Amino acid sequence: MASIFSLKKIRFCDIINKIGKAKLKQNQEKKRVVILGGGFAGVSASLALSEYIGDNPEYEIVLIDRHDYHLYHAALYEAATTEHRQIAARKVKKTVTIPLGDIFRKRSVKVFKAFVEKVDLGNGQIMTDSRVVYFDYLLIALGSIADFYGIPGLDKYGFTLKSLEDAVMIRNRIEDIISKKDSGQIIIGGGGFAGVEFAGELRNLIKHECKAHGKKPENFKIMIVEGAINYLPGLSEKVSKLVAARLAGLGIEGRFSTLLTHAEKDFLTLNNKEQVACDLLIWTGGVRSCRLPVLEDLERDKKDRTAATEFLNLKKFPNVFVAGDDACILDPQTKKPLPQTAQEAIHQGRHAAKNIYRLVQGRPLLPYHSGPVRFVIPVSGKYAILYTPNLIIHGLFGWLIRKTADLRYFLSVLPFFTALRYWLFENEIFMKND
């Protein structure tokens, strides 16, 4: 009886082993596309690939990110200026993050939360903090980090606005300053999109915090330090003047043709000679690519962006693509790298997905062409500026266009009612600061 039982046990184990080997073989036969990064480029590429590939069992799409959510960077300045007592940190998180599970709930995309440690492009291996992931096709879209340009003390004393944690720390620090002091100065390094948008909402937050703590708002100054001759360098002079007038009306000082050359705990040095008092420094003056820890030597520019072909892939590794802030793609007209913007990241992510699918099918790749130039710049309250090369709209109508653009993005990554719910919740929270 015992021998019969042992025989059955052996046969059962053999069956289990055969099933396991069959599954392993099946997984090995699948072509795997891996996307590194759950930002604008990574999410748009994953969604596009899921449309192209569908439920085809021969292919597998895997998105790897160290977070289990997609960060909506366009609203970070709003999150950083929510009033401390009215909006809890958990609610702030809900306004600027979308769980990746919600985005890919009914999609053929597997989400793997992990930190990427090394990438071996030659052998198709990604070493994470938990396991090794193999790939046949790879898209690198890890985004960017703040660029401190080697300015002494800046990385130690400057607050950046690149993450949810940054936004929460900034708003807590502002509340702490106003509760403990009768006057102060907050300096924003950089008069580009992030600096201008943050400055406008910061004035509203200071007003609310001063009212709660019995302080005078006029005693808390805001200064923007910009190296160029005006705000939003690169856009039209008319837009710069509109922004300057709006910020000046809010009592915000702009210092132009001015470089921040040294940072200390309580003061900054400008142009290597002038010292100004500073209670809080917010650095929005530039970004650089998250340098991917690849084993191979890749061509990069001074911003650590990886040089890509016109098809968004690498010359040495045609099955490896880059998009978003990680990609150095030259504009065919200006011969300069394309800007590191959310719009570009989304367009590049979609195009990279299309070319990956064409590569899988053995079809020729398509060259990338930058999308249309359109920007909407909110500058405090229900005021924003819509900029296109042929049209500029400002005021309430510009703000309505911005809100419509936010909803349009949510609809592009979420089902209709889920997107509408996120959009309504975001507006309910952020309008409290107007």
Could you report the per-residue pLDDT of 236-255, keeping only the tens digit for each?
999 999 999 999 999 999 99
State yes or no: pLDDT of 93 exceeds 80: yes
State yes or no: pLDDT of 17 exceeds 50: no
- Within 10 A of 427 (CB to CB), how many other CB atoms are there? 15
Per-residue pLDDT band for 14 (boundaries 50, 70, 90) equals low
Average pLDDT on 94-113 reads 94
Per-residue pLDDT band for 8 (boundaries 50, 70, 90) equals very low
Asked whether the beta carbons of 61 and 53 are under 8 A apart, the reply is yes
C-alpha span between 80 and 92 (Å, rounded): 9
Residue 335 pLDDT? 79
Average pLDDT on 374-398 reads 95
C-alpha span between 180 and 244 (Å, rounded): 31
Residue 28 pLDDT? 53
Pick the CATH number of 154-285+374-433 from 3.40.50.11890, 3.30.590.10, 3.50.50.100, 3.40.50.720: 3.50.50.100
Average pLDDT on 77-101 reads 88
Residue 23 pLDDT? 43
Per-residue pLDDT band for 340 (boundaries 50, 70, 90) equals confident
Pairing of strands 144-146, 287-289: antiparallel
Residue 50 pLDDT? 96
Percent of the chain with pLDDT over 70: 93
Using the structure block, give the residue that is written with the tokens 């192209």: 52
What does the block give as tokens for 260? 């921040």
State yes or no: pLDDT of 374 exceeds 60: yes
Residue 19 pLDDT? 44
Residue 434 pLDDT? 73
Per-residue pLDDT band for 83 (boundaries 50, 70, 90) equals confident
Q: Greater confidence, 89 or 124?
A: 124
State yes or no: pLDDT of 410 exceeds 60: yes
Percent of the chain with pLDDT over 90: 79
Superfamily (CATH) of domain 26-66+114-146+288-361? FAD/NAD(P)-binding domain (3.50.50.60)
Residue 67 pLDDT? 96
Average pLDDT on 192-211 reads 95
pTM: predicted TM-score of the whole model, two decimal places: 0.89
**If you average pLDDT over every residue of the chain, what do you get?**
91
Q: Which of 221-235, 289-303, 357-371 has the lowest mean pLDDT?
A: 289-303
Asked whether the beta carbons of 103 and 63 are under 8 A apart, the reply is no
The angle that helices 416-430 and 89-96 make with each other, rounded to 10 degrees, is 130
Residue 330 pLDDT? 85
Residue 16 pLDDT? 42
Boundaries of CATH 3.50.50.100 in the chain? 154-285+374-433
Per-residue pLDDT band for 292 (boundaries 50, 70, 90) equals confident
Per-residue pLDDT band for 85 (boundaries 50, 70, 90) equals confident
Pairing of strands 184-189, 280-283: parallel
Boundaries of CATH 3.50.50.60 in the chain? 26-66+114-146+288-361
State yes or no: pLDDT of 73 exceeds 50: yes
Residue 3 pLDDT? 44
The angle that helices 396-413 and 416-430 make with each other, rounded to 10 degrees, is 140
